[in-house]
Chains A and B, each alone.
Chain A
Amino acid sequence: MTAPQRITSAEGTALPMRGNDIDTDRIMPARFLRAVTFEGLEQHLFEDERAGSAAGDRAQATLHPFDDARFAGASILLVNRNFGCGSSREHAPQGLLRAGFRAVIGESFSEIFFGNALIIGLPCMTVTPETVSALMERVDAQADAVLRIDLGAGRCEIGDFGCTVTLPPHARDALITGAWDTTSLLLERYQEVDATAAKLPYVGGWSA
């Protein structure tokens, strides 16, 4: 068992991935779930809409952000509303994490995606739509600009632009204290789990 890793900050260049309601089928198409490990998923992010794919080549008047060399090596992902909706596949945040992303900033996230990202140590932080636009514009203008996120202070800075980033208190505390990998936490006082279960009539076979 490794010591819990405290995640207090994230720093690096950013990649703007525009659009509302980007679902996990788009982030990680289902055929890449056909494996018993998460290894190699970073190679398949948004695969079906990137250059070289049928849809990508047909629809791409502009370069897909994940194909844009300017954003190569980015560690902060910028998104819009309801990012990660749809399927509960953890393969989507796993792919992002394995591709080197250390934080996602967006207008809002699907709850399942948010939880799947948190439990693997990938913070998803929210800002206003205006702030997302401002951040995306800055990154478009200067792709090598470095974003610095301080989770505890709830601040994000890029050049001379600073903004508040929001994490629900439970997620912030979990990341900062290294309690984001919840299994150990849930096993800590297992006798209390048994006590709760014992009070549920259906667990005891209805022998009231």
Chain B
Amino acid sequence: MGQTLLQKVWDLHTVRTLQTGQTQLFIGLHLIHEVTTPQAFDGLRARGWRVARPDRTFGTVDHIIPTRERTRPFLDLLAEDMIGSLERNCREFGVRLAGLEDDRQGIVHVIGPELGLTQPGMTIACGDSHTSTHGAFGAVAFGIGTSQVRDVLASQCLAMEPLKVRRIEVNGTLPPGVYAKDVILTIIHRLGVSGGVGYAYEYAGDTIERMSMDERMTICNMSIEGGARVGYVNPDQTTFEYLKGRPFAPMGEAFDTARAWWSSIASDPDARYDDTVVIRAEELAPVVTWGVNPGQSVAVDGRTPSGEEVGGGGGPVTEALDFMGLEGGQAIVGLRIDVAFIGSCTNSRLSDLREAARVVRGHHVASHVTALVVPGSVSIKRAAEQEGLDEIFRTAGFEWREAGCSMCLGMNPDKLEGNQVCAASSNRNFKGRQGSPTGRTLLMSPAMVAAAALAGEVADVRGLA
């Protein structure tokens, strides 16, 4: 009987069964950032513990940092305090940190892969729910809370419950203007925002196999929005090509050894799954959310649901529509926006910026719209600048910012104001998510955000691309 990647990686990393029946799982890579770690380091100090494996721990700053003015100390004293705390903790405990002035700085889920830290067959943990992103490489990656961060710092282990595996097969060719973001939003809509609880999602099928690593990361990133803590794609030639030459990837002979091992941890052809779902790529369209969870979405040429009809995400539709200031049966195309945000660990990579720039080139942002592009990392920002993407965005009226999480969660000065409506390439349309308690978020692909920024309202990118 074949095994899934999840089973193989789980077994290889199992230290022992704890008295509670949980598995003590070794964590191959622990990524840390400024927001979910200060209390964890304090916990270590209180008990006189050290970081067990500084060599398997890597930090950066992303959540709270300003994306406009980076001179220290920050005007934002709380941000200064949190960044300073991470810097001190990393120094004291001997943990590597890609800090603010480091060329490697960026969103933690962008830089892990970019640096080659993220590799197939690893277990990865980070105090952030979007850690599922790293599953794109065939890693098993868990989002954890601060006390679990303390667990990993002190012991390089987590106490975990086994997961079931649902294979989500996407087959066929995506129509033009339809992106990885639309695939994952469709999956979440169909299976629901709690449909993945207890499962790891294995994304497979020829559509996924043809996807670039950037696209696979977008898909795995939003697994958690469907309730699945873990999402992954089996490693293949695309994965190996991406890793080759990355700073922390093995080199020379070691790369060949690694490649053989990486291949061996992929799911076997006769692996048994707890559930299987099949999706046809041809049927998909650009997706836009209309509600207050990522399952409440519809094709761009569709309408908001009416009455008490329940959307894929569940939750009373009328209450969600009311928060969003929408009516039932309203067309999605033409919804007016105030802000356009291209960024976040979901969609801030070079290919995302290229697609958005392709839409933007030669046009201008609507006069009432504030538009910003926040690259996922310093290195993406520089690469985009070398290609002249920054010029395209700037000329069109977009702001071109420094790397960070920015308006995805509004922990820094990048926030919605009042009940502004934001077309966002990020991952969550929760109430208040973008920093204003009454702010409203429409999730969509970066190309769709670009189209909305130009039109000043939601537009179908298929008519523009």
Contact = CB atoms under 8 A, between A and B. Distances in A.
Question: Which interface class (under 10, 10 to 19, 20 to 34, 35 or more) fits B?
Answer: 35 or more
A69 interface: no
A185 B145 contact: no
Nearest to B143: A88
A119 interface: yes
Contact of A31 (B85, B122, B411): B411
Nearest to B144: A88
Nearest to A208: B257
A134 interface: no
B176 interface: no
Contacts of B156: 193, 197
B100 to A, nearest CB: 17
Contacts of B20: 170-171, 173-174, 177, 179, 185
Interface string A2-38: 0000000000000000011101011001110111111
Contacts of A35: 78, 81-82
B16 A183 contact: no
A85 B261 CA distance: 35
A175 to B, nearest CB: 9
Contacts of B79: 34
Interface stretch (B7-15, B103-111, B208-216, B454-462): B7-15
Given A82-B194, A192-B16, A59 B229 contact: no
Question: Which interface class (under 10, 10 to 19, 20 to 34, 35 or more) fits A?
Answer: 35 or more
Interface string A109-129: 011100110011000000000
Nearest to B129: A88
B71 interface: no
Given A36-B85, A88-B144, A90-B146, A111 B197 contact: yes
A84 to B, nearest CB: 10
Given A31-B411, A112-B129, A82 B432 contact: no
B24 interface: yes
Nearest to A36: B38
A203 B38 contact: no
B238 interface: no
A34 B261 CA distance: 42
B16 A189 contact: yes
Contacts of A26: 430-432
B385 interface: no
A205 interface: yes
B315 interface: yes
A166 B78 CA distance: 41
B72 interface: no
A15 B255 CA distance: 57
B428 A21 contact: no
A115 B293 CA distance: 22
A179 B157 contact: no
B227 A85 contact: yes
A119 B129 contact: no
Nearest to A54: B438
A89 B63 CA distance: 12
A196 B193 contact: no
B206 to A, nearest CB: 29
B19 A86 contact: no
Contacts of B158: 186
A82 B129 contact: no
A89 B36 contact: yes
Contact of B159 (A48, A54, A182): A182
Interface stretch (B147-155, B269-277, B354-362): B147-155
Contacts of A182: 18, 148, 151, 159
A201 B431 contact: no
B15 A192 contact: yes
B39 A38 contact: yes
B64 A34 contact: yes
B261 A111 contact: no
B197 A110 contact: yes
A88 B145 CA distance: 5
B286 interface: no
Contacts of B146: 90-91, 116
B463 interface: no
A200 interface: yes
A177 B224 CA distance: 31
Contacts of B367: none
Interface string B219-242: 000001101010000000000000
B438 A58 contact: yes
B257 A20 contact: no
**Residue among A19, A53, A192, A196 with the most chain B CB within 10 A?**
A196
A168 interface: yes
A97 B465 CA distance: 51
Contacts of B39: 36-38, 90
Contacts of A205: 250, 254
Contacts of B28: 200, 202-203
A55 B154 contact: no
Given A111-B198, A112-B224, A187-B154, 14 more contacts: A1-B47, A20-B314, A21-B314, A34-B35, A53-B437, A86-B129, A87-B428, A110-B197, A112-B144, A185-B18, A186-B151, A193-B155, A203-B28, A207-B254
24 contacts: A20-B314, A21-B315, A31-B410, A34-B64, A36-B38, A36-B42, A37-B39, A53-B437, A54-B437, A55-B432, A81-B194, A82-B197, A88-B145, A108-B194, A112-B143, A112-B145, A181-B147, A185-B18, A186-B151, A189-B15, A192-B16, A202-B250, A205-B250, A206-B257
The 6 closest A-B pairs by CB, nearest first: A90-B145, A116-B145, A48-B437, A82-B194, A36-B38, A186-B155
Interface of A: 1, 19-21, 23, 25-26, 29-31, 33-38, 48-49, 53-55, 58-59, 81-82, 85-91, 93, 108, 110-112, 115-116, 119-120, 168-171, 173-174, 177, 179, 181-183, 185-187, 189-190, 192-193, 195-197, 199-203, 205-208
